[in-house]
């Protein structure tokens, strides 16, 4: 039985009950010949019987009205919350997509250059002459030239390995090409930044933004309607190649919301 029919059923039952009471006592009703006092006494008795019934009916109807209003208010609040969540989410996803098409920052390039220098000092490049001289001024000059005219890589280029997502990212040490090696090493380590588990401050900004988006969806895990809506919006606004590339990042891949997205 639907709850919205209950008030009508209550009214019908109470009406029948009142009619039944009147029927039981109709023979005891005074006639026209009886005095006014007799009519007043009868009315008082009937009033005493019917008033509690009508009061109970009023209480029941008020309670059902309150229940209906409460549900309507909850539904309205949920719609407003969904609208707010979608607007915030849309702004976040738009900002992330725009960022993907921007070039990597000088800060990111500088970090990778410093890593290459460290690996060279540690002998990871098998004694190859990556730099002209093993002195700080020579290395700083190389870094300065690199930052003055940095490579024109976008975050999307590096995240998707320049459109070759499933091709292994490998740094070739042999045959050694001195002119291209620094550029190749730079590209190798930049790509790795999108596929390795790094601390927040070391991660590329698009990876951090995607994690923030996943955490935002996670806030609504108790509200399946909103959570599912945001997941669908994520899938709609992120290209398949980007989604595939994101799945290679350990921090994103392990996130429970991302697992729900790719399932």
Place of tokens 């001024």: 137
Is 92 within a domain?
no
Instruction: Identify the domain containing residue 234 by its residue range.
Output: 203-262
Indicate the pTM of the whole model: 0.72
Tell me the pLDDT tens digit for each residue of 83-132: 999 999 999 999 999 999 999 999 899 999 899 888 887 887 766 776 66
Statement to judge: residues 10 and 79 lie in one domain = yes
Is 96 within a domain?
no
Statement to judge: residues 189 and 213 lie in one domain = no
Poorest-confidence range of 165-169, 219-223, 231-235, 250-254?
A: 165-169
Statement to judge: residues 76 and 17 lie in one domain = yes
Residue 242: which of 151, 165, 153 has the closest Cα? 165
Tell me the pLDDT tens digit for each residue of 38-92: 566 666 666 666 677 677 777 777 777 777 777 777 778 888 999 999 999 999 9
Number of domains in the chain: 3
Statement to judge: residues 116 and 174 lie in one domain = yes
pLDDT at 28: 56
Is 98 within a domain?
no
* Most confidently modeled range among 14-23, 102-111, 209-218: 209-218
Sequence-ordered list of residues with C-beta below 8 angstroms from that of 139, at least 6 positions apart, any chain: 117, 131
Statement to judge: residues 125 and 162 lie in one domain = yes
pLDDT at 73: 75
Statement to judge: residues 49 and 115 lie in one domain = no
pLDDT at 42: 62
Is 67 within a domain?
yes
- What percent of the chain has pLDDT above 70? 79
Does residue 179 carry a pLDDT above 80?
A: no
Is 97 within a domain?
no
Is 99 within a domain?
no
The answer to whether the Cα torsion of 185, 191, 196, 202 is positive or negative is positive
Q: Is 7 exposed, middle or buried (0-12, 13-18, 19+ CB in 10 A)?
A: middle
Statement to judge: residues 235 and 255 lie in one domain = yes
pLDDT at 78: 86
Q: Is 93 exposed, middle or buried (0-12, 13-18, 19+ CB in 10 A)?
A: buried
Separation of alpha carbons 26 and 22, rounded Å: 6
Statement to judge: residues 112 and 54 lie in one domain = no
């Amino acid at each position: 039985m639907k709850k919205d029919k209950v008030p009508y059923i209550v009214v019908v039952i109470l009406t029948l009950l009142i009619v039944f009471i009147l029927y039981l006592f109709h023979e005891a009703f005074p006639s026209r010949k009886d005095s006014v006092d007799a009519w007043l006494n009868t009315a008082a008795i009937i009033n005493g019987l019917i008033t509690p019934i009508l009061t109970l009916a009023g209480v029941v109807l008020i309670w059902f009205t309150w229940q209906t209003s409460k549900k309507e208010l909850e539904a309205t609040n949920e719609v407003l919350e969904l609208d707010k969540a979608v607007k915030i989410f849309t702004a976040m996803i738009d900002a992330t997509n725009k960022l993907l098409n921007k070039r990597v920052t000088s800060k990111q390039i500088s970090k990778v250059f410093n890593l290459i220098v460290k690996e060279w000092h540690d002998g990871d490049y098998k004694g190859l002459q990556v730099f002209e001289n093993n002195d700080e001024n020579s290395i700083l000059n190389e870094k300065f030239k690199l930052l003055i005219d940095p490579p024109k890589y976008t975050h999307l280029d590096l995240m998707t390995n320049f459109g070759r997502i499933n091709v292994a990212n490998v740094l070739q040490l042999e045959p050694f090409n001195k002119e291209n090696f620094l550029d190749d090493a730079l590209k190798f380590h930049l790509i790795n930044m999108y596929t390795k588990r790094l601390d927040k401050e070391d991660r590329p900004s698009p990876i951090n933004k995607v994690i923030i988006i996943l955490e935002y969806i996670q806030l609504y895990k108790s509200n399946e309607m909103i959570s599912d809506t945001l997941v669908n919006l994520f899938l709609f606004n992120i290209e398949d190649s980007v989604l595939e590339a994101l799945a290679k990042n350990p921090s994103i891949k392990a996130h429970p919301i991302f697992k729900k997205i790719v399932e």
